[in-house]
Amino acid sequence: MAKAWGGRFEKQTDKATDDFNSSISFDCRLYKQDILGSIAHAEMLGAQGIIPLEESQLIKQTLLEILADIEAGKVEFEIDAEDIHMNIEKILTCRIGDAGKRLHTGRSRNDQVALDIRMYLLSENQAITSLLDSLLKTLVSISKEHLTTILPGYTHLQRAQPITLAHHMMAYFQMFRRDVERLSDCAKRTNFMPLGSGALAGTTYPLDREMVASQLGFSAITENSLDAVSDRDFALELAFCLSTVMVHLSRMSEELILWSSSEFAFVEMDDAFSTGSSIMPQKKNPDVAELVRGKSGRVFGDLMALLTVMKGLPLAYNKDMQEDKEAIFDSIDTVKMCLPVFTEMLATLKFKKDAMYRAASGGFTNATDVADYLVKKGIPFRDSHEIIGKMVLYCIEHSKAIDELTMAEFKAFSPLIGEDVYEEISLEKCVSGRSLPGGPAASSVLTQIANAENFLTKNS
């Protein structure tokens, strides 16, 4: 078929070149954005008197018909037409003749694809934000149910201090909340309308760029035509945001995988989100969590691919930039696949409170509270720290927990220790005493939950 750019060439491109050059296999998903952008452009051309108004309206009507046909599965895209932009233009021209050829007036595929990808990423940004909203609500729901469920908090994967499951879940709420905020911030920088930038230097036609931006719902127009067609910062930024989402999903998956093991036995995965072994009949594997953890790698790889594509490109547009789409599309698809199944897996978890409490009772998680007890009696913290370190060593040698020591044993370490120590170092007191803002005490976590619910309401 004749190329839209074929006038300068004396021979047809090689078939292998056509196949190599074509992007329709993956940019076909931009069909809706391409059509909506073309409609806005056509209406502006008509309003400005650049093309006849009746032809502008004919183009709009026909493009709407093409959109309906595509969504009804009646359109088959052609590799020879290279990309979604030329495919739709070819269909349009076949249906209405010369009037269809006027659509590209004052427009280049460079600013056209920049428009389409911005519109698409804004839409997907919103869709992913909605999925994160569901996850955040699930975390809040679990936290409300487990305000007093005690488990050990860890550092270096060693038992450290007692906290609550609600406090633990709300830590993840903060992570995913930041993801929502990052996506919102990313959308602000994506929400600029590039059409009218042409190939790189704008056009001599009196385009009304603000009209197009308003019709398509953009907040503003791009300010520099060179930047507008060569910028993919918004795609890089979204890829980073999605990579960070996957970091958080992977971290939580790792914990749930550990927690579901016999060694921890803190949770049991619902059968609907577990698999078995083809050889070992006793196995119940946390495959969903493992797959989410594994899929983080491909999203990180997509970010690196995008950064590598863009790192050495001179202004303005270069064909390398066609490689932006598969990477960002894959990142979007992967995150959209992971979030719903992860959220449902989390919502159906069975938390084993007794096992969590037993774990918190071991590992000397109340050692810091014994040290603080002595500080309140007037001993400097560094001295108190050394005393309790020796006490822990004694307990290890005698296979005892701190709260199992007799008063005589306590007194051997410090005569200031009294009977009240047993109450002061109970797990419940260790948790409830940490009521500072941000702490694990129920009063503090309830404030965190209230703030979380306010955030969700404002962002709904």
Q: What secondary structure does DSSP assign to 117-183, as a single string?
A: HHHHHHHHHHHHHHHHHHHHHHHHHHHHHTTT-EEEEEETTEEEEEEEHHHHHHHHHHHHHHHHHHH
Measure the CA–CA gap between 422 and 400, rounded to whole angstroms.
14
**Contact between residue 42 and residue 60 where contact means Cβ atoms under 8 Å apart:** yes
Omega before 412 within 30 of 0, i.e. cis: no
385 noted as active-site residue: no
Amino acid at 74: K
Measure the CA–CA gap between 41 and 212, rounded to whole angstroms.
6
Catalytic residue (choose from 25, 219, 261, 277)? 277
Amino acid at 153: G
Alpha helices in 219-323 (DSSP H): 225-230, 233-259, 287-310
> Residue 195 has which token pair?
């059409």
Place of tokens 């020879």: 80
> Residue 21 has which token pair?
């050059």
3-state secondary structure at position 151: strand
CA atoms within 13 A on the CB side of 17: 5
CA atoms within 13 A on the CB side of 329: 14
To which H or E segment does residue 192 belong? Answer: strand 192-193
Alpha helices in 398-432 (DSSP H): 407-413, 421-424, 427-432
Neighbours of 355 (CB within 10 A): 15
Burial of 314 (0-12, 13-18, 19+ CB in 10 A): exposed
108 noted as active-site residue: no
The dihedral of CA 302, 307, 312, 315: what is its sign?
positive
Place of tokens 């590039």: 194
Comparing CA positions, the residue from 236, 232, 199 lying closest to residue 316 is 199
What spatial distance separates the first Cα and last Cα of the chain, rounded to whole Å? 49
> Residue 28 has which token pair?
């076909």
The angle at the Cα of 136, spanning 134 to 139, to the nearest 5 degrees, equals 115
Q: What secondary structure does DSSP assign to 265-285, as a single string?
A: --EE--GGG-B--SS-TT--B
Catalytic residue (choose from 156, 262, 399, 460)? 156
Comparing CA positions, the residue from 100, 82, 89 lying closest to residue 18 is 82
Measure the CA–CA gap between 340 and 137, rounded to whole angstroms.
12
The residues carrying an active-site annotation are 156, 277
